[in-house]
Amino acid sequence: MRNNRIWARILGVEKTIVEGVEYDDDAGCVVVSVRPTARARSRCGVCRRRSPGYDGGAGRRRWRALDAGQVTVLVEAPAPRVMCGEHGVVVAHVPWARHGAGHTRRFDETIAWLATHCSKSAVCELMQVAWRTVGSIVDRVWSDTKRKIDRFGGLARIGIDEISYKKGHKYLTVVVDHDSGRLVWAAEGHNADTLRGFFDLLGEARCAQITHVTADAAAWIAKVVAERCPDAIRCADPFHVVAWATAAVDKVRRGAWNRARAKAIPRKRFGTRGRPRAGTGNTGDPYRERATVVKKSRWALLKNPENLTEKQTVTLRLIELEDPALYRAYLLKESLRLIFQMSLEDAVVELGRWIGWARRCRIPEFVALARSIVTHRDSILAAIEHGLSNGRMESINTKIRLITRVAFGFRSPEALVALAMLGLGGHPPQLPGRNHPRMSQESPKLWGSHTPSHPW
């Protein structure tokens, strides 16, 4: 095989002729000069339709390819412009890279795979790219992927949710498939128009096939769902209902802490720094002790009892003795959570009982919660009836939150959406060049048996 053909193999390029290879001493990298084959030439970069040449563009351009060993490899070629009937004057299509990209397709695909499997620092270190560049690459790989797949096929039971990121300054609206556990769609924003964007994409015929929709109590979600899927059964998202109760417990806890703190004897001041010497503080002040117990009880109160540590179990016991109202709030939260694990028959009875209990509990936060539960009673029971009380929504919620943290530093929210879709959308990026018989040692894993494990 001639050298140039070997280089075409190394680059993994198709419809491309290698003209020569040289080592660029200044840049310290291998530069491979290429040109598209006759059939791939003179095509619009956007639609790939054959178009007449316009001019030479900005001359020769370079694209970064995957390294050969430890050496950076660049692909160099002329980048002429063509006159497309539809898109006007555009840079001509090249077979080795996506339109407008500075990296080859293989480089893009490798980055996308790494971004869904490795930590941010591993990707940047290994591939020698900035995280922002990873963002743009992930974005264009997802744009390409979504054109080739039908991500809305067979969609029947969906969950709609809003997720805050950038410390609550920005929101994503997400749609998940309850049956497959896939993330189906996500977009920046959280209002009726954002969600309408999803239903527009879905189309009327498929909207009619949606049988169940779960969502939190946001009025704008209910409004759009009623508009577009009037026949779908609307269910409360159990994850959110429990989250309301959890938030209420935390509010009660903060109130209890503040009250205990206000009653505590003020600490004597001993100089301006350091902790007071032993025996000189306010130890023995019951209100201060109570304040400390309450302050440190946050996780003991919020976690599910089966996940409590020994220390947290003790804290909970102390709360039971010290602050009956806070403990009552805790029990109310727990019993509400358990209702979602019951059969419909039991749940109907227990929810009724729970509402009665919460109304009479003399904790304003839970009296208010009881009112919301009454408002959403039907949709809560619908969720239980149709078996939508699984932890799937919660698990995907947690994963998306992790991704939003990782994606911090991407330039656009589209890149965040792209990373979430590639990681959780059921169409994970594939490593390039793994279909050679000698290379593929393992049979390709199907979605479901293989969920990328995110180290973040």
Judge contact between 127 and 402, C-beta under 8 A: no
Residues in contact with Zn ion, counted by CB under 5 A, come to a total of 6
Give the rounded distance of the alpha carbon of 174 from its chain centre. Answer: 9
Single out the segment in contact with Zn ion by CB under 5 A; choices: 47-55, 188-196, 259-267, 402-410.
47-55
Smaller CB separation from Zn ion, 19 or 86: 86
Q: Is 238 helix (H, G, I), strand (E, B) or coil?
A: helix
The residue within the footprint of Zn ion, chosen from 86, 179, 200, 378 (CB under 5 A), is: 86
Judge contact between 244 and 372, C-beta under 8 A: yes
- State the nearest-atom distance from the C-beta of 111 to Zn ion, in Å: 26
Told to check if 82 binds Zn ion by CB under 5 A, we report no
Told to check if 308 binds Zn ion by CB under 5 A, we report no
Per CB under 5 A, contacts with Zn ion among 217-256 are none
Judge contact between 397 and 242, C-beta under 8 A: no
**What is d(CA 260, CA 291) in angstroms, rounded to the nearest whole number?**
5
Per CB under 5 A, contacts with Zn ion among 263-282 are none
- State the nearest-atom distance from the C-beta of 394 to Zn ion, in Å: 45
Give the containing element (helix H, strand E) for 272: none
E strands present in 25-156: 29-36, 53-55, 60-68, 71-78, 81-84, 88-91
How many other C-beta atoms lie within 10 A of the C-beta of residue 352? 11
- State the nearest-atom distance from the C-beta of 93 to Zn ion, in Å: 9
Told to check if 47 binds Zn ion by CB under 5 A, we report yes
E strands present in 8-50: 16-24, 29-36
Per CB under 5 A, contacts with Zn ion among 138-157 are none
Choose among 320, 266, 333, 265: nearest CA to 294.
320
Smaller CB separation from Zn ion, 54 or 357: 54
In sequence order, the 6+-apart residues with CB closer than 8 A to the CB of 331 are none
Single out the segment in contact with Zn ion by CB under 5 A; choices: 38-46, 363-371, 401-409, 432-440.
38-46
Single out the segment in contact with Zn ion by CB under 5 A; choices: 40-48, 268-276, 340-348, 443-451.
40-48
Single out the segment in contact with Zn ion by CB under 5 A; choices: 28-36, 39-47, 125-133, 395-403.
39-47
**What is d(CA 194, CA 172) in angstroms, rounded to the nearest whole number?**
9
The residue within the footprint of Zn ion, chosen from 17, 21, 31, 46 (CB under 5 A), is: 46
- Burial of 296 per CB tally in 10 Å (0-12, 13-18, 19+): middle
Looking at residue 294, its amino acid is V
The residue within the footprint of Zn ion, chosen from 30, 73, 84, 293 (CB under 5 A), is: 84
Smaller CB separation from Zn ion, 93 or 288: 93
Smaller CB separation from Zn ion, 93 or 234: 93
In sequence order, the 6+-apart residues with CB closer than 8 A to the CB of 324 are none
Single out the segment in contact with Zn ion by CB under 5 A; choices: 30-38, 43-51, 332-340, 363-371.
43-51
Judge contact between 256 and 325, C-beta under 8 A: yes
- State the nearest-atom distance from the C-beta of 399 to Zn ion, in Å: 38
In sequence order, the 6+-apart residues with CB closer than 8 A to the CB of 43 are 49, 50, 51, 82, 92, 93
Judge contact between 256 and 268, C-beta under 8 A: no
**What is d(CA 329, CA 301) in angstroms, rounded to the nearest whole number?**
9
Told to check if 192 binds Zn ion by CB under 5 A, we report no
Told to check if 44 binds Zn ion by CB under 5 A, we report yes
Told to check if 87 binds Zn ion by CB under 5 A, we report yes
- State the nearest-atom distance from the C-beta of 170 to Zn ion, in Å: 34
Single out the segment in contact with Zn ion by CB under 5 A; choices: 36-44, 98-106, 195-203, 208-216.
36-44
- State the nearest-atom distance from the C-beta of 415 to Zn ion, in Å: 25
- State the nearest-atom distance from the C-beta of 40 to Zn ion, in Å: 15
Measured at CB, which residue is nearest to Zn ion?
A: 44
Whose tokens are 């032993």? That residue is: 278
- State the nearest-atom distance from the C-beta of 73 to Zn ion, in Å: 30
Smaller CB separation from Zn ion, 140 or 228: 140
- State the nearest-atom distance from the C-beta of 54 to Zn ion, in Å: 12
Q: Is 232 helix (H, G, I), strand (E, B) or coil?
A: coil
Told to check if 329 binds Zn ion by CB under 5 A, we report no
Residue 90 phi, psi dihedral angles, 5° rounding: -135, 155
Interface residues with Zn ion (CB under 5 A) are 44, 46-47, 84, 86-87
